[in-house]
Amino acid sequence: MSVFTVGLTLRVKRDFKPIAQRFGVAAVLPVALFALFLMLAGVAPIDTFAAMLQSSVGSSYGIGEVLVRAAPFALTALAAVIPARAGLLNVGAEGQLVCGGLGVAAMAFALGDVSPAGIPLLIVAGMAGGAAWAGIAGVLRTKLQLSETISTLLLNYIGYLLVAHVLQGPLKDPASFNWPYSAPLSDALRFATLLGSRVNVGMLLAPLAAGVLAVLLFRTYWGLNLRVTGGNPQAARRAGINVPRTYLTVMLIAGALAGLAGVLQVMGVEGRLRPTSGVGFGYAGFLAAWMVGHHPIWVLLSALLLAAIAVSGDALQITAGLPASSINILTALVLLGVLARGRAQSRG
């Protein structure tokens, strides 16, 4: 393990570039522009930024909330990273996440009241739900050469509507007064939380997954196989790599990762599946992955950044009286700043 760690550290170090240069364009400009927006609204920018920082990274609760949001972002980001390394574009973490949530809810429904021993079953069900949804796109790609970008995009809507339908029907909690929620999980089936917050053990799955995938990707035969396929599928084929199988595998892994994000949301944060559970997280992850050029470790950082911005939006609402969605301006400016920085030479 330590060998791997050293290897990864080296890689991480090599990726590091002078701070001042980066900070200039991609961080200061968005913040300055956003300050301009705030001033246009007649809101004092410095006070508002202070309140935003305070509500996100300036208090233990805020930091906890950033982590709570970052964990699923990181998983959906990984769901884009792995296929990207093999040359596929998975835009479908959104749908795979809700299907993961559906897997958890369905399994909980089937199991009924069970002991904590049910937790692994629920996790597996969630990952299976996401993997199944991504698997559809994988099969369409390998058997029918249908672009996975298009199919996953379409499957997002279908997945969301399927979940909405099931929550209004068979999985609706009989005690929810017709509200489209699944039955709440019993406390024994929830991830244990840190006192007074929503930080839960399940969130450890995100860095764990990132670490395991980084090792797999950079330090194993399988990972090389995958990256060669991503680099040039024709060459990979000539080198004897079973390209369709690689494609299918990465899609299944991606779906399982996105499904795991759904697991976190249902078993960690919400305790039940709602039609709104995790909506938007898939796209956030996709963006987090692009921000760091599909690096499995760095996505943890980009996920944290996006989560921190999202969480700080509350302060706009409570302190500055601005609509919370105004925070999307800052998110978008940071994203566009990062994306515009470099030409996309490659997907990987």
Give Cα 257 to chain centroid, integer Å: 8
Place of tokens 């080296």: 10
| Residue placing its CB nearer to other proteins in the complex, 252 or 269 | 269
Number of DSSP helices (H) and strands (E) in the chain, helices first: 15, 0
Tokens of 56: 């996100």
CB of 204 to other proteins, least distance (A): 19
Q: Segment 46-85, which members bind other proteins (CB under 8 A)?
A: 49-51, 53-55, 57-59, 61, 65
**295 is a contact residue toward other proteins (CB under 8 A):** yes
The stretch among 107-115, 120-128, 202-210, 287-295 that binds other proteins (CB under 8 A) is 287-295
Tokens of 201: 């053990």
CB of 101 to other proteins, least distance (A): 12
Place of tokens 């760091």: 292
Q: Which of 18, 42, 112, 120 binds other proteins (CB under 8 A)?
A: 18
Q: Segment 159-178, which members bind other proteins (CB under 8 A)?
A: 161-162, 164-165, 168-169, 172, 177-178
Rg of the chain on CA atoms, in Å: 21
CB of 20 to other proteins, least distance (A): 8
Query: Minimal CA–CA distance to 291: which of 70, 9, 58?
Result: 70
CB of 222 to other proteins, least distance (A): 19
| Residue placing its CB nearer to other proteins in the complex, 4 or 61 | 61
**224 is a contact residue toward other proteins (CB under 8 A):** no
CB of 55 to other proteins, least distance (A): 6
| Residue placing its CB nearer to other proteins in the complex, 220 or 232 | 232
Tokens of 97: 């996440």
The stretch among 100-108, 199-207, 229-237, 251-259 that binds other proteins (CB under 8 A) is 229-237
- Confirm if 302 and 15 have CB atoms less than 8 A apart: no
Tokens of 273: 């599946």
Q: Segment 135-164, which members bind other proteins (CB under 8 A)?
A: 140, 144-151, 153-155, 157-158, 161-162, 164
**200 is a contact residue toward other proteins (CB under 8 A):** no
Q: Segment 231-260, which members bind other proteins (CB under 8 A)?
A: 232-235
| Residue placing its CB nearer to other proteins in the complex, 120 or 175 | 175
The stretch among 2-10, 113-121, 209-217, 262-270 that binds other proteins (CB under 8 A) is 262-270
CB of 295 to other proteins, least distance (A): 4
| Residue placing its CB nearer to other proteins in the complex, 220 or 328 | 328
Q: Segment 314-333, which members bind other proteins (CB under 8 A)?
A: 314-315, 317-319, 321-333
Residues binding other proteins: what is the number (CB under 8 A)? 117
- Confirm if 93 and 286 have CB atoms less than 8 A apart: yes
Tokens of 348: 């990987």
Reduced to 3 states, what is the DSSP secondary structure of residue 182?
Answer: strand
Q: Segment 93-132, which members bind other proteins (CB under 8 A)?
A: none
The DSSP bridge partners found for residue 182 are 172
- CA distances (Å), origin 114, targets 118, 125, 272: 6, 15, 16
Place of tokens 């058997």: 143
**39 is a contact residue toward other proteins (CB under 8 A):** no
What lies within 8 Å, CB to CB, of 71 at 6+ separation is 202, 203, 205, 206, 261, 264, 268, 303
**14 is a contact residue toward other proteins (CB under 8 A):** yes
**33 is a contact residue toward other proteins (CB under 8 A):** no
- CA distances (Å), origin 27, targets 21, 57, 110, 310, 339: 10, 17, 48, 16, 12
Please give the Cα distance from 118 to 217 (Å, whole number): 31
**274 is a contact residue toward other proteins (CB under 8 A):** yes
Cα-Cα end-to-end distance for the chain: 25
